[in-house]
Amino acid sequence: MDWTFWLEWVLKGFVLCLVLLTGFAYLTYYERRALARMQNRIGPNRAGPQGLLQPIADAVKLFFKEELTPARAYKIVFFLAPIVTVVPSLIIAAVIPWGTSFQLFGRTITLYVADINVGVLYLMSIASIAVYGIVLAGWSSNNKYAMLGGMRSSAQMISYELALGLSFVTAILLANSMRMIDIVNAQSSWWFVVIQPVGALIFWIATLAEVNRAPFDMPEAEQELTAGYHAEYSGMKFALFFMAEYQKMIVICAILATLFFGGYLGPFVDKFWFLGPVYMFAKVFILLFFMIWVRATWPRIRYDRLMSFGWKVLVPLALAVVFITATGILLAQELNNQLYFWAIPFVSIVAAGIAVMMIYRELRRKAYERA
């Protein structure tokens, strides 16, 4: 372990943070423009060409805003909560591979910060401690609305973590490894989204709830809770919460791309190393568009329905999908027949169809009862 090793590490971490921070700034711009398009507006277009300097203008505005601390707030926790929210959203990106490797000054430089054999578990554990920032922000503000927002988010995030973990399990089963690199390489012939579309869908829904995005943005529902857990925050502290949310969006799209959409793989990626980050960026960009699209399309769902959807639909469905995947892989191995392997997507889609039917019938029954 010479000093160049440490230098490489520090530089890679620095570049990753820089990419995420810039990504956050331009994701806000991207979202505002895309939402505007969907709502027949133009969106921010004044600052710079096509409004490209808008994020900088926003940052300047936030810097100069006055910061208020409520008189009865728990000061230390109130100060720490935004930091506790931002840090997980940055460090979770450490295990995501952005490409293969390249030679520089005779050294092989790999395009990921850390390659650990429990990569997926690392994602899981960081995702599970991300809830603290929001809960503590809500509690330390000493404000009923903020507190309710924090409690909602803790209940919601713990509930959806189960489905999230189970959808991770489907990818682990298909790749036969918990290392992110192995998971990407296992998708060289087929992306996992083809083999296990329902697993990818469950991941998508569960992560929308984990990052408190619409339609699951209950912790910050304006109509019910003014602004939820960050009601008392202003200026840069508020900006940190905002930053954490958007960084989490980027990171989650990157994780989804890695686990189910082939990561950095694409045509000619083993010949030209620089294509890896390009493919990854393109996939993340497209997946982010879907996240924005969801926000523009669906209204917020009611809180009790959110919880019963998570526990009564998503968790059983995820368990069924894990069972189907494991059985398919095992049968294909033991009986040496690839037919069983390719039965996985069809049986999973049937299971998802049954789940949708059950929701539909339940809603119909409730509608009749009301009528």
Binding-site ranges for other proteins (CB under 8 A): 74, 77, 116-118, 121-122, 124-129, 131-132, 135-136, 139, 147, 150-151, 154-155, 157-158, 161, 178
- Tell me the CA end-to-end span of the chain in Å, nearest whole number: 72
| Nearest to other proteins of 124, 343 (CB atom) | 124
| Nearest to other proteins of 172, 253 (CB atom) | 172
| Nearest to other proteins of 124, 332 (CB atom) | 124
| Nearest to other proteins of 66, 369 (CB atom) | 369
- Cβ atoms of 58 and 220 closer than 8 Å: no
| Nearest to other proteins of 19, 319 (CB atom) | 319
For residue 140, which of 264, 265, 65, 241 has the smallest C-alpha distance?
Answer: 241
| Nearest to other proteins of 254, 315 (CB atom) | 315
Q: At what angle do helices 75-91 and 235-260 cross, to 10 degrees?
A: 30
Min separation Cβ 62 and other proteins, Å: 28
| Nearest to other proteins of 147, 252 (CB atom) | 147
Radius of gyration of the chain from its Cα atoms, rounded to whole angstroms: 22
Min separation Cβ 65 and other proteins, Å: 28
Min separation Cβ 349 and other proteins, Å: 28
For residue 33, which of 299, 296, 298 has the smallest C-alpha distance?
Answer: 296
Min separation Cβ 326 and other proteins, Å: 13
| Nearest to other proteins of 71, 104 (CB atom) | 71
- Cβ atoms of 184 and 264 closer than 8 Å: yes
Min separation Cβ 268 and other proteins, Å: 30
Q: How far apart are CA 207 and CA 195, in angstroms?
A: 20
Min separation Cβ 128 and other proteins, Å: 3
Min separation Cβ 233 and other proteins, Å: 18
Angle at 40 between CA 35 and CA 41, to 5 degrees: 70
Min separation Cβ 125 and other proteins, Å: 4
- The residue with tokens 């990106």 is 93
